[in-house]
Structures are given as structure tokens and as C-alpha cells.
A and B are shown apart, each in its own frame.
Chain A
């Protein structure tokens, strides 16, 4: 019988299909693993964004990995609460993102409300040259979880994994 720790180790090898340097554990998507007996394992996951198309792929990858271990009944449960936040991203995850060229999320502060229109999140460091002289191009980027920035020093446009 597999222990929960062994299952976690397997899950650590599954990467996010849209940000392939991050494992699903780095992202904080897997909330619980429950080993009921030899053949029954439940994995509880939570979506990042409600419309994230990667979630179906992730659930399928979890199922495939566990099937390979010979586990027959794999239950994948999706929970919505507490709602996922970028604060759950691991420190190694943030480091890997930066090396990949995506600025990691900062710690979540106040939720965006209407009173801060036209206000950008302050000085997101450029993942290439580390300059904080950067500006927001668009609040919405190549995937639901990213915003588009540009570095004013090295001129490189880059993705910022936005606070959520």
C-alpha cells in the first residue's frame, strides 16, 4: 500500500501544462491526499482561475500517474473553498518562475477595488535584469493568471504571475 507521502512525491512530478516549470505542488493546487486502502486514493484539488483550461488536463495527468502505480479507484475531488491564492505558491516555485522569465507573484495585499483605477501594482522587478523600472502593458496576459509588463531598462516585455 502506498503512503500519502509517496503519493505526494508522485504528484510533485506533475507539471502545470501552461507553466511547465511549475509542479502542481509548487502552485498549491493539490490540497489533500487521502489513501483509503491499496486500491483507493482520493486527491483533492482546487482550481487557480475558474475558467482555467489547464484544470481538466491536470486532473487527467493525476489520474494517469496514479493508474501507473496500479491504483484502481482514483477519486479526484475539486473544492472551491478556501479560494486558491498565489500566496500558496512555494518559494521554490517562485524561484523557478523567475528563472523561466516570468515575474513571480508578490504577497497578496488588498483586493483590487474601484478606487485604484489606473494604478499599477508597484515596481514589479524584471525577471531578466532585475530592474524595478517596469510598467504594466495589460492587466490580462497570455493566460488567465498572468499580466503583461515591460521593463523600461532592458526593454524586454515579460509576463507577471499576478496576485490572486
Chain B
């Protein structure tokens, strides 16, 4: 692995997390529990897809400079022309929306991680990663606030909503360890002061999650086994279905624009 490969993989990984969660959230468009929340979740989608574009544009620029890549890379080719095994998002973000409890919990677990990560990346020795993080962080702060409020509202709500949150924790908690377990390109990024130190972030993340869970009267589960692999391209079955929809137009009508 050359340094450029590690760097583009790292940037694409950051972009993939944003794109796939943005796409998942966009599935709520027109189906939100009330109009204002429908607008909220689609606004969060827009922010995340915007982040993905900035990371992909940067990755494309690096790929085009490197001689090993044939053909011109663009943000679109990165999003629309890679298959499942080439995607580097964590398993958490590709999990199905299920109900509102599951959707807001996924957002809370992920955004809390993303807030800590981007805060760390402000000091990245890679200038472009630092400025994208600075820009995105302002919006991520709103995502954390919005999703934490929902976790508390449902956890400490009715018997039914509490039950739904317990189920959501049961389905999603097993994917949280992957957020903090570095894969080779992340280790490389940390060693070169480009990435953040994930194990340190994990402690802070746990404290924040414990605070909100305790206010929401929800337990931190005891997890016996963890699911991981997305960051190196080993995904759950769900990602294939997401890409089928996301990439349909470009696959059916190559180079189509509108």
C-alpha cells in the first residue's frame, strides 16, 4: 500500500459513512412521523450527502494525480461506479431504518462518534481533511443535539416507546465497536497525524452515550460479540440493496445527466 492509497482509502471511508447514512435517512422522505421531523431527517441527509461530496471531490483529485488510476475519477464515479466490496462505510450506517426509534438511535450513536472524530480531525496534518471537518462540524453539532433529544424523549417516554428503544439498542449495539477499531488505512492515518486516535475517542464516546442513556432510562447492554468488516469492504446484505437503488440510473444509462 502506498501512502496515496492509504490516504484516498481513508478519505473515501469518511465519505462513504456520510453517503450511506445520508441515503438511509433520505428513505424517510415523505414518511416521517410528522411533517417537521420528516423535514429534520431529510435536512440531516442533505448535510451528510454534502459531506460525502466534499470527501469524494478531494479523493478524486488525489486519484487523478496518481498514475496508477486509469480514467478520470470524479465525485460521481466514486459514488455511482463502485461495487459493495469497494465501499468502506461502517456496518452501523447501512442498517435498515426499521422504526423511528432505530433511526434516531443509529443517528445518535453515529453522530456522537462523528462529532468527536471531526473535532480530532481539526488538527489533521492534511489541510483539506481539517477544513472539511471544520465546515461539517457546525452541522454535526445539530445532529447530535437533535438525535440525543429523541433518544431521551423515547427512552423516557411511554412504555411502548421505551420498549422500542430497547429493541433498537438490541439491534444496533453490536455494530458500535467497529467505529473505534482501526483498520490499516486508519492506523496509517493516525501514525501520520492525519487521522484521530480512535481508542481515545471511544472512551469519550462511551461517557457521552452513558450520560444520554442514563437520562433516557436506558441500559448500556452487555455485548458478547461484535459485528465488523464494513471498513474493509465486508458488508451486511443491506448495502447491496442500497447501492442497487442509489446507482440504478448510472448503471442503466451510463453517463446520464439531468
Docked-complex contact A117 and B135, CB < 8 angstroms: no
State A144–B46 Cα separation when bound (angstroms): 8
State A52–B49 Cα separation when bound (angstroms): 10
Residues on A with C-beta less than 8 A from B73 are none
Q: A117-B149, A138-B37, A139-B40 are in contact. Are A164 and B47 (CB under 8 A)?
A: no
Docked-complex contact B144 and A52, CB < 8 angstroms: no
Residues on A with C-beta less than 8 A from B74 are none
Chain A residues within 8 Å of chain B by Cβ, number: 26
Docked-complex contact A148 and B132, CB < 8 angstroms: no
Contact with B along A49-68 (1 / 0, CB 8 A): 11111000000000000000
Task: Answer whether residue A137 sits at the interface, using C-beta atoms and an 8 A cutoff.
Answer: yes
Q: Footprint of A on B, CB under 8 Å?
A: 36-37, 39-40, 43-44, 46-51, 53-54, 130-132, 134-136, 138-139, 141-142, 144-146, 148-149, 152, 208, 211-212
Docked-complex contact B40 and A81, CB < 8 angstroms: no
Docked-complex contact A51 and B48, CB < 8 angstroms: yes
State A116–B136 Cα separation when bound (angstroms): 20
Residues on B with C-beta less than 8 A from A1 are none
Docked-complex contact A148 and B131, CB < 8 angstroms: no
Q: A80-B134, A144-B43, A148-B36 are in contact. Are A49 and B139 (CB under 8 A)?
A: yes
Docked-complex contact A51 and B145, CB < 8 angstroms: no
Task: Answer whether residue A5 sits at the interface, using C-beta atoms and an 8 A cutoff.
Answer: no
Task: Answer whether residue A141 sits at the interface, using C-beta atoms and an 8 A cutoff.
Answer: yes
Q: A137-B36, A164-B138 are in contact. Are A80 and B51 (CB under 8 A)?
A: no
Residues on A with C-beta less than 8 A from B135 are 47, 50, 80-81, 83-84
Docked complex: A126-164 residues within 8 A CB-CB of B: 137-142, 144, 148, 164
Docked-complex contact B141 and A83, CB < 8 angstroms: no
Docked-complex contact B40 and A138, CB < 8 angstroms: yes
How near does chain A come to B159, taking the closest CB pair, in angstroms? 22
Instruction: Count chain B CB atoms within 10 A of each CB in A52, A80, A111, A141 and give the residue with the most.
Output: A80
Residue of B nearest to A55 (CB): B50
Residues on B with C-beta less than 8 A from A83 are 131, 134-135, 138
Docked-complex contact A80 and B36, CB < 8 angstroms: no
Task: Answer whether residue A114 sits at the interface, using C-beta atoms and an 8 A cutoff.
Answer: yes
State A83–B139 Cα separation when bound (angstroms): 11
Residues on A with C-beta less than 8 A from B132 are 50, 80
Q: A117-B145, A139-B142 are in contact. Are A51 and B37 (CB under 8 A)?
A: no
Task: Answer whether residue A92 sits at the interface, using C-beta atoms and an 8 A cutoff.
Answer: no
Docked-complex contact A50 and B54, CB < 8 angstroms: yes
Residues on B with C-beta less than 8 A from A118 are 149, 152
Docked-complex contact A140 and B40, CB < 8 angstroms: yes
How near does chain A come to B195, taking the closest CB pair, in angstroms? 19
Residue of B nearest to A115 (CB): B211
Q: A83-B135, A137-B36 are in contact. Are A112 and B141 (CB under 8 A)?
A: yes
Residues on A with C-beta less than 8 A from B51 are 50-51
State A138–B132 Cα separation when bound (angstroms): 26
Residues on A with C-beta less than 8 A from B39 are 138, 140-142, 148
